């Protein structure tokens, strides 16, 4: 653990460069997934799917073989499942499950806040169905803007 906090070690090892590359590519993947899920009409499903992808990509775990290294939990899960290290598999699953439960709670909290503050736009109209000549949709779009 002491070696991890040594800034010279971090800069010399390439560890930081690999993590920066991973975080940038994961953020780009999240943006692509965000755009792919924009046509899902049910906002709860859409929000949960987006949060689930973010949880899977951004949940880290300390590697048990060397406590100085972090790795994405889903990668550690796959490797340790193949290697047969049950303790790490269980820890990875617990971390991912905790993140997914947190994501579900965030979606539920968003639903409650929308109900409490009177925002009834739970189902956003998709781009294909948002015609301005349709009076209910035009009225709904004007209210959204």
pLDDT tens-digit map of 52-69: 899 999 988 887 776 677
Is 90 exceeded by the pLDDT of residue 15?
Answer: no
In three-state secondary structure terms, 130 is: coil
Q: How far apart are CA 85 and CA 91, in angstroms?
A: 10
135 vs 96, which has greater pLDDT? 96
Contact predicate 49/25, CB 8 Å: no
**pLDDT tier at 107 (50, 70, 90 boundaries)?**
confident
What local confidence, expressed as pLDDT, does residue 33 receive? 94
Digit-coded pLDDT (tens) for 62-97: 877 766 778 888 888 888 888 888 888 888 889 899
For the beta carbon of residue 110, count every other beta carbon within 10 angstroms: 15
Cα angle 122-123-127, degrees, rounded to a multiple of 5: 140
What local confidence, expressed as pLDDT, does residue 29 receive? 94
9 vs 103, which has greater pLDDT? 103
Is 80 exceeded by the pLDDT of residue 140?
Answer: no
Is 90 exceeded by the pLDDT of residue 30?
Answer: yes
**pLDDT tier at 20 (50, 70, 90 boundaries)?**
confident
pTM attached to this predicted model: 0.63
What local confidence, expressed as pLDDT, does residue 67 receive? 65
Q: How far apart are CA 116 and CA 27, in angstroms?
A: 32
Q: How far apart are CA 57 and CA 26, in angstroms?
A: 6
3-state helix, strand, coil in the chain (%, to 5): 70, 5, 25
The runs of H, that is alpha helices, within 59-85 are 73-83
User: Which phi and psi (to 5°) does residue 51 adopt?
Assistant: -70, -35
């Amino acid at each position: 653990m002491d070696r991890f906090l040594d800034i010279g070690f971090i800069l010399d090892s390439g560890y930081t460069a690999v993590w920066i590359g991973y975080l940038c590519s994961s953020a780009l993947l999240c943006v692509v997934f965000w755009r792919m899920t924009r046509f899902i009409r049910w906002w709860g499903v859409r929000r949960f799917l987006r949060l689930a992808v973010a949880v899977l990509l951004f949940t880290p775990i300390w590697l048990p073989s060397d406590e100085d290294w972090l790795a994405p939990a889903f990668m550690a899960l796959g490797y340790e499942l193949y290697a047969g290290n049950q303790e790490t598999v269980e820890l990875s699953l617990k971390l991912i499950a905790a993140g997914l439960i947190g994501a579900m709670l965030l979606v539920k909290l968003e639903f409650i806040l929308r109900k409490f503050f009177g925002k009834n736009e739970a189902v956003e109209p998709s781009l294909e169905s948002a015609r301005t000549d349709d009076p209910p949709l035009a009225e709904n779009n004007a209210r959204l803007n």
